[in-house]
Structure 1
Amino acid sequence: MMIIIVFGLPGSGKSYFASRLAKMINAGYVSSDKVRKELFKESVYSEQEKRAVYDKMLQQMEQAIQQKNNLVLDATFHRKDTRKMFVEEMKGKGNIFFIEVQADENIIRERLKKPRPYSEADFEVYKHIRRQNEPLNEPHLILKSTDDNIDEMLRKTSEYLKIKNDNKANQ
């Protein structure tokens, strides 16, 4: 059983990637944007709102663990303490992997101009989260998103997960 945390700044392409990854590996999929929409009619991206969203995602991860289901979690995960919460919950229960999706800022700017079904994040929200971002310093897979490389991203991820799972099985 594995939990995969797909993270990155707004507009990086993480949701597009994470939803396809979940299908590819037959895993559940939880999007912070969808959770936020379910919990709040109007998003203001406040600290309390973010905390509620991550708490709900943590509950959904706990359910997946109990049911021994693979799960892909999709959110910015831009704070160390938030990531730590999920890592702590997984201790001794299965494998947790972090995959960071990045994109050039000009691509992000264009993507954030377009309406998206669950996210209200615009370029100002992107800049705000970028300023608050606490990079993940542990080794993890970093993917660069363009507008036409989803197949390559999924292939790299498949190889990465196979190698990581094989290594963990041999430990």
Structure 2
Amino acid sequence: MIVIVFGLPGSGKSYFASRLADRIHAGYVNSDRVRKELFEKSDYSKEEKKAVYEKMLKVMKGAMEQNNDLVLDATFHEKETRDLFINEAKGTATVFFIEVKADEEIIKERLKKERPYSEADYEVYRMISQKNEPLSEPHLILQSTNDNIDEMLEKAVTTLNLKNDTSGDQ
């Protein structure tokens, strides 16, 4: 099972995704960590994004070969990028999308704080939100606040279990 947790910078997706991976005993790949490994200073250019997603795709392929569950954490704001991961997993693993959203005021506050791996600030948020291509297929959408992580995790785990239980029937 591949779980793609996506959303805009500051939405709380990484905070959620890392805890979800622990909860479901899955591997975890964070795009900000990958970016830090690949680049000393981030510029969020098209080339940089391509390199980050290529590395994440490589890790996903390895997880699928080992039949391991994996949580991928990135903005995934472009349809073309999401399609690349979906097509790679076809016939090998089930892909679930979970979108994490937050009110803009919460995002502004979160982006003012230093985070260990992300250099995204409010300008990066605005740039990505302007280029965001919403996912049109049905998927789980979670609204992040500053005190609802347990509720978000419970909803996600329940949804993933329900989808996995019925996947053979579809």
TM-score range, shorter chain: over 0.9
- Tell me the residue number matched to 1:142: 141
Once the two structures are superposed, what CA deviation does each residue of 1:65-84 show, in whole Å capped at 9, x if it has no partner? Answer: 00110000000000000000
Give the % identical residues: 67
CA shift at 1:162, angstroms? 1.1
- Tell me the residue number matched to 1:95: 94
Q: Please state whether the residue corresponding to 1:164 is helix, strand or coil.
A: helix
- Tell me the residue number matched to 2:37: 38
Return the alpha-carbon distance in structure 2 between the equivalents of residues 27 and 170 of structure 1: 24
**TM norm structure 1:** 0.99
- Tell me the residue number matched to 2:20: 21
Paired residues for 1:61-140 under 5 Å: 61-140=60-139
- Tell me the residue number matched to 1:151: 150
Once the two structures are superposed, what CA deviation does each residue of 1:22-53 show, in whole Å capped at 9, x if it has no partner? Answer: 00000000000000000000000000000000
Once the two structures are superposed, what CA deviation does each residue of 1:60-99 show, in whole Å capped at 9, x if it has no partner? Answer: 0000000110000000000000000000000000210000
CA shift at 1:138, angstroms? 0.1
Q: Please state whether the residue corresponding to 1:59 is helix, strand or coil.
A: helix
Moved over 2 A (4+): none
CA shift at 1:159, angstroms? 1.0
**TM norm structure 2:** 0.99
Question: Amino acid of the residue matched to residue 134 of structure 2?
Answer: P
Backbone CA RMSD of aligned residues: 0.5
CA shift at 1:148, angstroms? 0.3
Counterpart check, 1:50 vs 2:49? yes
Structure 2: runs of 5 or more not aligned: none
CA shift at 1:150, angstroms? 0.3
Question: Amino acid of the residue matched to residue 160 of structure 2?
Answer: L
Q: Please state whether the residue corresponding to 1:98 is helix, strand or coil.
A: strand
